């Protein structure tokens, strides 16, 4: 067995003997990944040491490039999901507007139909067109009869004219109602297609985010080993294999501690839910409300679909209700975003989370009042705050009256 390969095997056996996990190195690095033996040999020659240092530094950079590429892909998939989500929201708005138009046109058509029916009944009571003949025979024998005839004939003429106008109006309102109904059907069909696209984009975004997290964990393991080797090469003092492994353990422990702190929700703890099962998502004044906003920040949606709570940077964000995390990744102008399915067709969203401030993952069950993230200003935010959303049947609604009705006023 060649010396370089034998060194790798011995290093692997030593790692197993110490109870440490082997580093899962990417296939591209397999032929050039340095062993402890390689590092020790390189220490005895300045030229070899410099070469190995450059080699390891290149591997560390390539490892970090993988992490960055995975993160950028996750951000791109999140931005794509954000676009499809906005399109669904806009289609929902159009559908709601058309629903109101359909109701109004139907009401007009019904009223016109009733007026036409009333006029038809009135004409039927007068005898309709036959009335002209009876009036002529009735009023032709005298001057007074002729005068009465002309008066009655004038009323009949007006009645038939009104009837024609009312009939035309009834036809027009019926056609208008049919047109708005056709528009409603069209927008409904468009919405169904957009929802399918949004679901596909959501799946892709979640997958890319999970892959980025997995890539980060793998590369942190690799980088811990590579950095420990680099430390040995750049150290002026002699280092034993135990020193080297101690360095690996220390770096891995530091990474694990950071991950555990994030998974545990940081230092924010939790807040209590009221008897309704709901809790405040953050503490601070209301800085922007639900609805249209012509003075929106650059790049932000012209319709604000949430309530902004002016919580300070780094302050805790709490789950407003128990549920399952369905999204925890970047989301376009929302920045880092968490969405929780709270059951009963209700979901809540939390935007602009600080980098590294997301403490939950997709599929995780959370309790009402649990610290799930911390406040930041990612995305299109112009300062630290929480953008809080409530959605019912996937439609964003005003969170303030919704939360107040559950005993949890915002602000």
Please write the tens of the pLDDT for every residue from 51-110.
888 888 898 898 899 989 998 998 999 999 999 998 999 888 888 888 887 777 667 666
Q: What is the mean pLDDT of the chain?
A: 78
Q: Say yes or no to pLDDT of 38 above 80.
A: yes
| Rg of the chain over all Cα atoms, to the nearest angstrom | 37
pLDDT (0 to 100) of residue 22: 37
Residue-wise pLDDT for 334-363, tens only, equals 999 999 999 999 999 999 999 989 999 999
pLDDT (0 to 100) of residue 18: 34
Least confidently predicted of 3-7, 151-155, 278-282, 402-406: 3-7
pLDDT (0 to 100) of residue 311: 95
Q: Which helix (H) or strand (E) holds 338?
A: strand 336-343
Q: How far apart are CA 281 and CA 317, in angstroms?
A: 6
Residue-wise pLDDT for 178-201, tens only, equals 777 888 888 888 889 988 999 999
pLDDT (0 to 100) of residue 389: 97
Q: How far apart are CA 166 and CA 154, in angstroms?
A: 18
C-alpha neighbours within 13 Å on the C-beta side of residue 182: 6
- Specify whether the CB–CB gap between 259 and 214 falls below 8 A: no
Q: How far apart are CA 121 and CA 114, in angstroms?
A: 11
The neighbouring-strand residues paired with 316 are: 374
Q: And the tokens for 200? A: 């596909």
How many other C-beta atoms lie within 10 A of the C-beta of residue 217?
14
List Cβ neighbours of 67 (8 Å cut-off, separation of 6 or more): 212, 215, 216, 219
Q: The domain 286-404 is classified under which CATH number: 3.40.50.720, 3.40.50.800, 2.70.70.10, 2.60.40.1180? A: 2.70.70.10
List Cβ neighbours of 156 (8 Å cut-off, separation of 6 or more): 126, 131, 132, 135
Looking at per-residue confidence, does 231 or 378 come out higher? Answer: 378
Looking at per-residue confidence, does 281 or 185 come out higher? Answer: 281
- Position 158 confidence tier, pLDDT thresholds 50, 70, 90: low
- Specify whether the CB–CB gap between 389 and 348 falls below 8 A: yes
pLDDT (0 to 100) of residue 136: 46
Q: Mean pLDDT highest for which of 246-260, 294-308, 332-346?
A: 332-346
Q: How far apart are CA 184 and CA 155, in angstroms?
A: 43
Q: And the tokens for 340? A: 């929780």
Residue spans of the domains in the chain: they are 3-78+206-263, 286-404
Q: Say yes or no to pLDDT of 166 above 70.
A: no
List Cβ neighbours of 221 (8 Å cut-off, separation of 6 or more): 21, 23, 24, 252, 255
Q: What is the pTM for the complete model shown?
A: 0.70
- Specify whether the CB–CB gap between 352 and 329 falls below 8 A: no
- Specify whether the CB–CB gap between 286 and 367 falls below 8 A: no
pLDDT (0 to 100) of residue 102: 72
Q: How far apart are CA 57 and CA 284, in angstroms?
A: 46
The 8-class DSSP code of residue 370 comes to: B
């Amino acid at each position: 067995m060649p010396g370089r390969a034998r060194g790798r095997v011995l290093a692997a056996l030593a790692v197993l003997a110490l109870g440490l996990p082997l580093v899962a190195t990417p296939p591209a690095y397999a032929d050039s990944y340095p062993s402890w033996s390689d590092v020790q040999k390189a220490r005895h020659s300045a030229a070899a040491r410099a070469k190995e240092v450059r080699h390891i530094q290149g591997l560390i950079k390539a490892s970090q490039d993988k992490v960055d590429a995975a993160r950028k892909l996750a951000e791109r998939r999140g931005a794509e999901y954000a676009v499809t989500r906005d399109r669904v929201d806009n289609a929902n708005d159009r559908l709601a507007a058309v629903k109101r138009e359909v109701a109004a046109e139907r009401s007009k058509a019904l009223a016109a139909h009733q007026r036409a029916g009333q006029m038809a009944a009135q004409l039927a009571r007068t005898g309709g067109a036959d009335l002209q003949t009876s009036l002529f025979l009735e009023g032709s024998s005298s001057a007074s009869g002729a005068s009465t005839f002309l008066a009655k004939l004038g009323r009949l003429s007006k009645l038939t004219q009104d009837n024609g106008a009312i009939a035309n109006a009834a036809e027009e309102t019926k056609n208008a109602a049919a047109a708005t109904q056709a528009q409603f059907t069209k927008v409904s069909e468009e919405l169904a297609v957009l929802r399918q696209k949004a679901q596909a984009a959501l799946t892709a975004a979640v997958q890319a985010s999970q892959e980025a997290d997995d890539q980060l964990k793998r590369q942190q393991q690799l980088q811990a080993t590579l950095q420990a080797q680099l430390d040995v090469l750049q150290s002026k003092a002699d280092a034993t294999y135990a020193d080297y492994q101690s360095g690996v353990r220390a770096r891995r422990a530091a990474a694990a501690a950071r991950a555990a702190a994030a998974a545990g929700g940081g230092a924010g703890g939790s807040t209590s839910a009221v008897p309704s099962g709901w809790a405040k998502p953050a503490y601070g004044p209301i800085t922007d409300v639900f609805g249209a906003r012509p003075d929106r920040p650059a790049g932000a949606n012209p319709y604000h679909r949430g309530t902004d709570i002016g919580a300070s940077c780094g302050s805790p964000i709490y789950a407003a209700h128990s549920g399952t995390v369905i999204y925890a990744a970047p989301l376009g102008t929302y920045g880092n975003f968490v969405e929780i399915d709270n059951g009963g067709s209700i979901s809540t969203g939390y935007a602009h989370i600080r980098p590294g401030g997301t403490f939950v993952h997709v599929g995780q069950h959370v309790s009402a009042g649990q610290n799930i993230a911390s406040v930041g200003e990612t995305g299109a935010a112009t300062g630290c705050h929480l953008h809080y959303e409530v959605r019912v049947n996937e439609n964003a609604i005003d969170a303030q009256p919704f939360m107040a009705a559950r005993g949890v006023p915002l602000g």
